[in-house]
Structure 1
């Protein structure tokens, strides 16, 4: 039987949101450790599922403690679990992310959060030269039903050196190439949740295959690794 997110997890974070201070957290630390142990089992199950159909080099679960040194928001604790899974470089590119938060704020995400400047330029140059293949991938009926459209930051008009009237400017002006799928609390607590997460991650593969090939070759298709 697969581990699952417990109702206690969502309830703990709801209470933490209302009592985000060290005294309350320390008083309830044993409860946190219990849900954290369960969450680690869930995230490792996602990792093991990914390894069946992808080459993933590990899991990074993020700590509950917030870095408040440079933030105006000084609350000390996050009110969610987050963990990322990266595909093995240099041949494979892209990553997966699982976010567990109450009040219907849970989601999974895939794609490219902060492409290195060289990678971002390479992506934009590819779309400038030929945008048909990526459009075919992201407009596929099954793909779109799961992942919808790109989300993420973009420049207002056009990046330097690109024509703002180019037919692919909607793709070129993006700074991030991310897909997000949201979940309700009810869906997160469902016994089918991890199966749905895994099948959704599987469905991103055509996009990852395309981007991995793009980012490991030059504009002439010659390998750069």
Structure 2
């Protein structure tokens, strides 16, 4: 299944979800979801995954829901979750690492909506085991300073680091330590936001993403190393 790009109807369909966010509407339009979103997403995962293996041979991808693809239905059972049943943005993930939640693995990630194409690498938020492993890793001054330098280098190429999540330094870190602000992060990832219509040009999308992920690869590798430090509970 060759990836030709997402049809122009894909973004229009996601915009329609915003105006008709209910299960009844979706079931009537399920075939459009499959044609405009799901089937092209499967083809994209295979094509992009094959390219990413040139950057990182151990990257993991599978063009299935709950693997590289996410469900269109939102989990509304979680406290504080958005209660709209349908998602109006489509997420796709390529992970590295064999165990644990896919969102707690170092990954190449993207999502698209009528508003943006969001591209990132790393881990966007830490659960406690990975947070502990991250803080243990940056507890070493040499590693912490090297990571800070790495992030600054990536930022010079036009990317952004996600915002800090904490205001106080955690135990074991103090203001006089070099690059200590790295301890204030709840996740560690870099990202770039592109125009959403890029998804309609298959060759250009793959080419653009490959270059972005190549630039982000140094952080991807650090986060993978940190993920290997997670201790079994």
Contact 1:4 1:194 in 2 (8 A): no
**1:74-93 → structure 2 map (5 Å cutoff):** 74-89=83-98
What residue in structure 1 maps to residue 123 of structure 2? 112
| RMSD, aligned α-carbons | 2.4
Please give the secondary structure, in 1, of the residue aligned with 2:161.
Answer: coil
Alignment of 1:193 onto 2:205:
yes
Deviation, structure 1 residue 139: 2.6
In the alignment, is the contact (CA less than 8 A) between 1:146 and 1:181 conserved in 2?
Answer: no
Q: From the superposition, tell whether residues 10 and 124 of structure 1 become closer, same or farther in structure 2 (CA, over 3 Å).
A: same
How far is the alpha carbon of 1:23 from its aligned partner?
1.9
The correspondence for 2:180, drawn from 164, 169, 186, is 169
TM-score by length of 2: 0.79
Distance 1:146 1:56, change over 3 A: same
Return closer, same or farther for 1:107/1:146 CA change in 2, 3 Å cut-off: farther
The alignment of Structure 1 onto Structure 2 pairs a total of residues equal to 211
- What is the CA deviation profile of residues 105-130 of structure 1, one whole-angstrom value per residue up to 9, with x for unaligned ones? 2211111233413312223303x455
- Does residue 176 of structure 2 align to residue 149 of structure 1? no
Tell me the distance in 2 between the aligned counterparts of 1:65 and 1:190: 26
Q: Check the 8 A contact 1:147/1:180 in 2, yes or no.
A: no
Range 164-173 or range 44-53, more displaced: 164-173
Query: Alpha-carbon deviation of 1:172?
Result: 1.9
Which whole-Å CA distance do the structure 2 matches of 1:164 and 1:100 have between them? 38
Q: Is the 8 A contact 2:112 2:196 kept in 1?
A: no
Give the direction of change, closer, same or farther, for the CA distance of 1:172–1:74 in structure 2 (3 Å limit): closer
Change in 2 beyond 3 A, CA 1:43/1:100: farther
Contact map agreement 1:112 1:178 (CA 8 A) in 2: yes
Q: 1:213 to 1:179 in 2, by over 3 A?
A: same
Larger radius of gyration: 1
> 2:148 matched to 1:135?
yes
Q: Give how far 1:72 is off.
A: 5.4
The counterpart of 1:124, out of the listed 115, 122, 138, is: 138
| 2:19 is aligned with 1:7 | no
| Residue equivalent to 1:206 | 218
Shift of the 58–185 alpha-carbon distance from structure 1 to 2, 3 Å rule, reads closer
CA distance in 1, matches of 2:159, 2:22: 37
**Structure 2: gaps spanning 5 or more residues:** 63-67, 100-104
Counterpart contact for 2:162–2:190, Cα < 8 Å: yes
Judging changes above 3 Å, is the alpha-carbon distance between structure 1 residues 214 and 88 closer, same or farther for their aligned structure 2 residues?
closer
Q: Is the 8 A contact 2:137 2:144 kept in 1?
A: no
